[in-house]
Amino acid sequence: MIRSEERFERGDIVDESGGSGQPLSGDGGTDDRDADREHPGTPRCSGGTEHPQQSEGNVARPEHTQETASTADTANTADTANTAGAPKAADSAAADRAPAAGPAGMDTSRAASGEYPGPPDGAGTGGPPPEPIGTTTPPPGKPGPPRKQGPGGGILMGRPFGVPVYVAPSWFLVAALITWVFGGQLERVLPELGAARYLVSLFFAVAFYGSVLIHELAHTVAALRFHLPVRRIQLQFFGGVSEIEKESETPGREFTLAFVGPLLSLVLSAVFYAVLQIVEPGTVPGVLLAGLMASNLIVAVFNLLPGLPLDGGRMLRAVVWKISGKPMTGTVAAAWVGRALAVAVLVGLPLLTQTGALGSRAADTTGMDTLTNALLAAILAAIIWTGAGNSLRMARLREHLPELRARSLTRRAVPVQSDTPLSEALRRANEAGARALVVVDPQGGPLAVVRESAIVGIPEHRRPWVPVSGLAQELTDGMRVSAELAGEELLDVLRTTPATEYLVVEATGEIYGVLSAADVERAFVKAMARPS
């Protein structure tokens, strides 16, 4: 089975770190994200800078530090009070810059005076009138979303073709179940094995999932052949999943990519059948080969059922896409067929097993068998129904993804120097109607972006003594994004360099404003909720 839309899950947009990818200590990541959600992006107007006032002590309070000392007590804490994971922008002053040079093509004299081009009136994410920057306090006790796990999802078994293969913990459960069920069958066929039948059954379970891995590798090789990146292969409770990070560009490639998996399962079934002809029946090798032949045939037939998220559903999607010329039409058709298939499995599988249509005699079916079949049907139906719904949701998102544009989501920014007190910087920003602060050097070159969540964590009566440098995230190459980025390309950049804010620049190098990951997330969610 193939899954190719998961890269656009909502959690992939928002930074799960302290702003540069480093983990936060304690629960800082939660507070950062909650604070970001308190400030929807709005239209901004740029404001001029004044000569910064001298702060009374170079103090940088951490985001989650309680107020326990007086001004005099905190005057010497500059080196230890930075926000977690956010180095001082002042520490990286203009060591690598020429004395009077800013970014390539940038008018440093204009930037130094605070005349950033900035988004025009009406740009931004819209919404209710904004509160002045730094005035909103984070809601107490509000939990943030759970941290995203790494790209794993189980035990790493290897990297064929450079693609990591993981075995999910649920695999061990299904392996034990297969061992128990197949062991019971061996007791009737080969009673002389005794307890050793469970070792043979375990070997069968491993060999069966080896066949599933080959099925998934067929998808992976085809995807790599079409230059589609594959995130990972995961073996789990009900088989395997190849997580392909992009959609096929043509319906023909989509059909091929989906068909190669079931095709290889059919080939494996034929190979096991051919070998079975030269092996004596009623022996351990004969029983194993017969089981592998039947199981691979079942995998192939099941995956060829024409409904998403199965391979057959992707093949149906490709056919409808080819006929209609619209991939969304193909997705809708295959997804609804998938939902109908889920209902058919839920109702039909128990009936077929109860009547003996699947090969077992109805008289031999016990109450426990009936319950097991009904539970299996319910699980399969839930997987198919959920997968079909997810396919619809992600296809709708892809349709609206180009509407995510860095230029329209950018906040206006006010430039301040590193020793500017936070209260003074906020005054300038609020007077200008801006919702972002950029730390600049004396020549106007950008050094860092002040994180909004860090501002909220500083009590108002402490702000006159806190320089903005202690609340800023030093700019890295990945935190400078082009104002022309949009859609999937924009999300790719944000996923490559996780942060809470990004500096948006024009092609000439001029600063356009600041892009908040929280604003992108809000626009992302709106795109998912918007009807096609």
Each residue of 240-286: pLDDT tens digit? Answer: 999 998 889 999 999 999 999 999 999 999 999 999 999 988 889 99
The reply to whether 5 falls in a domain is no
3 occurs within a structural domain: no
Q: What percent of the chain has pLDDT over 70?
A: 68
Whether residues 221 and 276 fall in one domain: yes
Q: Does residue 356 lie within any of the structural domains?
A: yes
| 208 and 312 housed in the same domain | yes
Q: Which two tokens stand for residue 108?
A: 């440093």
In the predicted structure, residue 476 carries a pLDDT above the cut 50:
yes
**For 47-73, what is each residue's pLDDT tens digit?**
333 333 433 333 333 333 333 333 333
For the chain, how many residues are written?
A: 532
Number of domains in the chain: 2
112-115 long-range contacts (CB < 8 A, ≥24 apart) are 112/49, 112/415, 112/440, 112/442, 112/443, 112/444, 113/48, 113/49, 113/444, 114/46, 114/47, 114/48, 114/49, 114/414, 114/415, 114/428, 114/432, 115/46, 115/48
pLDDT of residue 35: 38
Number of neighbours of residue 347 by Cβ within 10 angstroms? 12
For residue 207, which amino acid is it? A
Say yes or no: 266 and 313 in one domain.
Answer: yes
The last residue of one of the domains, among 403, 430, 464, is 403
Residue 1 lies in a domain: no
User: Higher model confidence: residue 392 or residue 505?
Assistant: 505
Residue 20 makes CB contacts below 8 A (sequence gap 6+) with 85, 86, 87, 473, 474, 476, 479, 498, 499
User: Is residue 464 domain-resident?
Assistant: yes
| CATH code (residue 36) | 3.10.580.10
Asked if 451 and 379 sit in the same domain, the reply is no
Q: Quick check: is 243 catalytic?
A: no
Half-sphere exposure of residue 97, counting CA atoms within 13 Å on the CB side? Answer: 18
For residue 333, which amino acid is it? A
In this structure, the answer to whether residues 504 and 398 fall within a common structural domain is no
265 within domain boundaries = yes
Do 362 and 476 sit in the same domain of this protein?
Answer: no
- Which residues form the domain of 328? 155-403
Q: Does the pTM exceed 0.85?
A: no
Closest CA to 87 of 427, 426, 439: 439
**Cα(283)–Cα(295) distance, integer angstroms:** 18
Task: State which of 364, 380, 403 marks the end of a domain.
Answer: 403
Whether residues 393 and 417 fall in one domain: no
User: Which of 238-242, 504-508, 514-518 is predicted with the least confidence, judged by mean pLDDT?
Assistant: 238-242
Of 315 and 433, the structure prediction assigns the larger pLDDT to 315
DSSP state of 421: B
pLDDT at 333: 94
Active-site hit among 5, 216, 424, 474: 216
Q: What would you measure as the largest C-alpha separation in the chain, in angstroms?
A: 92
pLDDT band at 6 (very low <50, low <70, confident <90, very high): very low
- The tokens 């983990």 sit on which residue? 23
Once rounded to an integer, what is the mean pLDDT over residues 170-197?
Answer: 86
Instruction: Please give the mean pLDDT across all residues of the chain.
Output: 75
For residue 460, what are the contacts with CB-CB under 8 A and spacing of at least 6? Answer: 134, 423
Q: Are residues 314 and 425 in the same domain?
A: no
In what order do the strands lie in the sheet containing 501-505?
480-482, 501-505, 511-516
Phi, psi of 166 (to 5 degrees): -115, 145
Q: Which helix (H) or strand (E) holds 339?
A: helix 327-355
Q: Are residues 94 and 241 in the same domain?
A: no
Indicate whether 442 belongs to any domain.
yes
The residue that leads in pLDDT, 262 or 392, is: 262
Same domain, residue pair 105 and 169:
no
Amino acid at 469: S
Average pLDDT, stretch 319-343? 94
Is residue 2 in a domain? no
The answer to whether residues 419 and 373 belong to one domain is no
Pairing type for strands 230-236 and 165-167 reads parallel
Extract the tokens encoding 480: 């400078």
Same domain, 104 and 241: no
Are 311 and 1 a contacting pair, CB within 8 Å? yes
Tokens of 523: 């626009």
Pick from 369, 403, 437: which residue ends a domain?
Answer: 403
Tens of pLDDT along 94-128?
Answer: 333 333 333 333 333 334 445 455 565 444 444 44
